[in-house]
């Protein structure tokens, strides 16, 4: 009887495969990967629904993010600020409205009518306690109005759109142009600009990443998978941050870090998965087994790598500064 000898490489591969399958974590990954392949259409449909639900909330993320957040609540300066607020009469928040004309002096009757019209309108605005006209600038064409509030900068920031409607415009406009400044307008505008710039950055980053992936994989389908994962990860992450921001103070910088992680890490990790999956298919495995082995090997590495990254960012939550906590959450 003739016995067919198995090549040494095949025997070693078979032995290694059996050894890995006996390992508990690999066995768990294999089973999970095979179940993912088995219920792939249900999983795809599930994530499509999640993305569709997330998009409307992700679009509102700018409304819950705040500027600032650099101070430590238990620091000496913070305690001194609280003492001043409690013991000394001073407004909680101030806005400055600057009036400036190119060729008309402040003493001009039309100029004065414009300024006094604004003074009359702003006195009835919510939380306004004092409206104080300022002096005249050296050029004779510039003046300002100080508006004091009895509420915090965040509340004033939420009302800025309504406040801006009180500024001279249309029938109430005069020879001077009105400009609004202060902590609340600065933080509000900074948040809006950050959201817009992050969106623009993603519009540029995704096509560039797709071109690089085309060079790496050589096929459009394989190159599109990491981009697709990033497109799924970013809006879902933004929606989660929006939900968290409804309950706690979140710095606008969380948007930057979550965008970096959402795009960079998702594309990076998906490269490992796709490369391993293609290698498993090239080795002759079925799609189900290739999926299982990809999850059991590359998936395990990604799991522990992701946990290490998460633990590192979670350490930022211990600092006690809002901006650092926001980066940790992101």
List, as one string, the DSSP characters of 78-109. Answer: HHHHHHHHHHS---SEEEEEEEE-SS--TTSH
Instruction: Select the more confidently predicted residue: 154 or 25.
Output: 154
Whether 196 and 176 share a structural domain: no
Please report the pLDDT score of residue 295 as a whole number: 85
Whether 95 and 193 share a structural domain: no
Whether 235 and 323 share a structural domain: yes
Instruction: Indicate the pLDDT class of residue 310, thresholds 50, 70 and 90.
Output: confident
Q: What's the pTM value of the predicted model, to 2 decimals?
A: 0.62
Last residue of a domain, which of 147, 163, 182?
182
Say whether 67 sits in a helix, a strand or coil. Answer: coil
Longest dimension (CA), the chain: 118
Last residue of a domain, which of 124, 156, 182?
182
Whether 294 and 225 share a structural domain: yes
Neighbours of 110 (CB within 10 A): 12
Q: Which stretch, 34-48, 212-226, 312-326, has highest mean pLDDT?
A: 34-48
First to last CA, the chain: 67
User: Is 149 contained in some domain?
Assistant: yes
Taking the C-alpha atoms of residue 309 and residue 301, their distance in angstroms, rounded to an integer, is: 12
Parallel, antiparallel or unpaired: strands 65-66 and 250-251: parallel
Percent of the chain with pLDDT over 90: 3
User: Is 84 contained in some domain?
Assistant: no
User: Is 19 contained in some domain?
Assistant: no
Last residue of a domain, which of 119, 151, 182?
182
Q: What are phi and psi of 85, to 5 degrees?
A: -65, -35
Whether 260 and 176 share a structural domain: no
User: Is 9 contained in some domain?
Assistant: no
Taking the C-alpha atoms of residue 292 and residue 286, their distance in angstroms, rounded to an integer, is: 10
Mean pLDDT score, 225-245: 83
Whether 164 and 196 share a structural domain: no
Task: Give 159-168's long-range contacts (Cβ < 8 A, gap of 24+).
Answer: 159/125, 159/126, 159/127, 160/184, 160/185, 160/188, 162/125, 163/95, 163/122, 163/125, 166/118, 166/121, 166/122, 166/125, 167/97, 167/118, 168/114, 168/117, 168/118
The total of structural domains in the chain comes to: 2
Whether 145 and 271 share a structural domain: no
Whether 273 and 192 share a structural domain: yes
For residue 121, what are the domain limits? 90-182
Whether 192 and 175 share a structural domain: no
The per-residue pLDDT of the chain, averaged, comes to 78
Please report the pLDDT score of residue 73 as a whole number: 67
Whether 62 and 198 share a structural domain: yes
User: Is 18 contained in some domain?
Assistant: no
Whether 167 and 261 share a structural domain: no
Whether 123 and 271 share a structural domain: no
């Amino acid at each position: 009887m003739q016995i067919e000898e198995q090549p040494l490489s095949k025997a070693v591969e078979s032995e290694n495969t059996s050894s890995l399958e006996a390992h508990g974590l690999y066995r768990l990954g294999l089973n999970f990967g095979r179940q993912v392949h088995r219920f792939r259409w249900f999983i795809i449909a599930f994530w499509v629904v999640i993305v569709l639900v997330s998009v409307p909330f992700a679009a509102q993320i700018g409304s819950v993010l705040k500027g600032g957040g650099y101070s430590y609540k238990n620091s000496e300066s913070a305690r001194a600020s609280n003492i001043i607020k409690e013991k000394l009469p001073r407004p909680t928040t101030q806005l400055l409205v600057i009036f400036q004309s190119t060729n008309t002096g402040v003493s001009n009757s039309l100029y004065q009518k414009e300024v006094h019209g604004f003074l009359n309108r702003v006195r009835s605005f919510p939380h306004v306690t004092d409206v104080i006209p300022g002096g005249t600038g050296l050029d004779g064409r510039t003046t300002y109005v100080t508006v004091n509030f009895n509420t915090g900068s965040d509340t004033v920031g939420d009302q800025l759109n309504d406040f801006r409607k009180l500024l001279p415009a249309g029938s109430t406009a005069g020879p001077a142009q009105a400009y609004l400044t202060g902590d609340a307008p600065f933080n509000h505008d900074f948040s809006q600009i950050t959201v817009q710039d992050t969106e623009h950055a993603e519009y540029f980053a995704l096509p560039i990443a797709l071109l690089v992936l085309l060079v790496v994989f050589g096929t459009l389908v394989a190159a599109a998978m990491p981009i697709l994962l990033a497109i799924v990860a970013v809006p879902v992450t933004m929606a989660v941050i929006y939900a968290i921001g409804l309950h706690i103070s979140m710095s606008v910088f969380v948007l930057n870090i979550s965008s970096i992680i959402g795009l960079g890490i998702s594309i990076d990790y998906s490269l490992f998965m796709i490369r391993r999956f293609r290698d498993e298919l090239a080795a002759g495995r079925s799609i189900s087994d290739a999926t299982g082995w990809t999850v059991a090997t590359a998936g395990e590495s990604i799991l522990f790598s992701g946990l290490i990254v998460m633990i590192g960012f979670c350490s930022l939550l211990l600092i006690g500064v809002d901006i650092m906590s926001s980066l940790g959450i992101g």
